[in-house]
Copies of this chain bind each other. A is one copy, B any other.
Amino acid sequence: MTYQDLIDACQPQWQTYTHHSFVMQLGQGTLPHTCFMHYLKQDFLFLKQYARAYALAIYKARTLADMRRALPSVAALLDHEIAHHVDYCGAWHLTEQDMEQEAEDVATVAYTRYVLDAGMQGDIVDLYVALAPCAIGYAAIGNMLINDTQTVFDTNPYRSWIDLYSGEDYQQGVAAATVYLNNLLAEISVHSQRGQQLIQTFKVATEMEIAFWQQGLNVGVVDSE
């Protein structure tokens, strides 16, 4: 099987995730600022746990090649992606320390700990499948937004977010990651029990992504009440 089989097996969830109202409003620049700030702070906490998950991938790897493959992801998460969030929030005088002290919301806990547990319970394939909706989905969203005629660029306050995830660096990183994921999946039949388990893991992780977007939107609802 390939990563595309994972996506095909949960099309409704994948569409809801990659075209979530949070995403579309972000692309059009109409997303309430409180929603984006809440999301960004929670995503900062998410990235921290996500880096733990890539460290787990090094622990789970059987070969030096696989260990070395996961290492730059840990480094990139702890530096590059986190730095984007800190830079953005810095305009509101939030430091990295402030952001690390924020409380994790339910959907943040749900998604991150699901990935970590799926990876710990299973093997390195389970772990990468649980990680996949985030990387592949964000690349799909970045690509979708940059090609969407409704996307606003010049005056969009969330322009740096769109640039980050539609940028060459991120897109090429994910493209390489999908090649690797396909290697991991190559021996597994989509119709086997193992294949169905992996689909289940991918589906739950995608559902947790949806809950994560919704969590950001809900803040706006509460605020406007």
List residues of chain A with CB under 8 Å of any chain B CB. Answer: 48, 51-52, 55-56, 58-64, 67-68, 70-71, 74-75, 78, 82, 96, 100, 103-104, 106-107, 109-110, 113-114, 116-117, 120-123, 126, 187, 189, 192-194, 197, 204, 207-208, 211
B100 and A63 contacting across the interface, CB-CB below 8 Å: yes
Q: In the assembly, what is the distance between CA of A187 and CA of B192, in Å?
A: 7
- Choose among B60, B71, B193, B204 the residue that contacts A121 (Cβ–Cβ < 8 A): B60
Whether A58 touches B74, Cβ cut-off 8 Å, given contacts A110-B107, A110-B109, A193-B187, is: yes
A-B contact pairs, 29 of them (CB 8 A): A48-B64, A48-B67, A51-B67, A52-B59, A52-B121, A55-B58, A55-B59, A55-B74, A58-B58, A59-B59, A62-B121, A62-B197, A64-B78, A71-B74, A71-B75, A74-B74, A75-B75, A106-B110, A106-B211, A107-B110, A109-B110, A109-B114, A110-B110, A113-B114, A117-B120, A120-B120, A122-B123, A123-B123, A187-B193
A187 and B197 contacting across the interface, CB-CB below 8 Å: no
B187 and A109 contacting across the interface, CB-CB below 8 Å: no
Q: At the interface, is chain A mostly helix, strand, loop or mixed?
A: helix
B55 and A204 contacting across the interface, CB-CB below 8 Å: no
The interface residues of chain B lying within 8 Å CB-to-CB of A114 are 109, 113
Q: How many monomers of this protein are in the complex?
A: 4
B113 and A64 contacting across the interface, CB-CB below 8 Å: no
The interface residues of chain B lying within 8 Å CB-to-CB of A68 are 78
Q: Closest CB of chain B to A87's CB: distance in Å?
A: 15
Q: In the assembly, what is the distance between CA of A141 and CA of B132, in Å?
A: 40
Q: Closest CB of chain B to A209's CB: distance in Å?
A: 11
Q: In the assembly, what is the distance between CA of A192 and CA of B48, in Å?
A: 24
Q: In the assembly, what is the distance between CA of A67 and CA of B59, in Å?
A: 14
Q: In the assembly, what is the distance between CA of A135 and CA of B211, in Å?
A: 27
The 9 closest A-B pairs by CB, nearest first: A113-B113, A55-B58, A110-B110, A123-B123, A109-B110, A113-B117, A106-B211, A122-B123, A55-B59
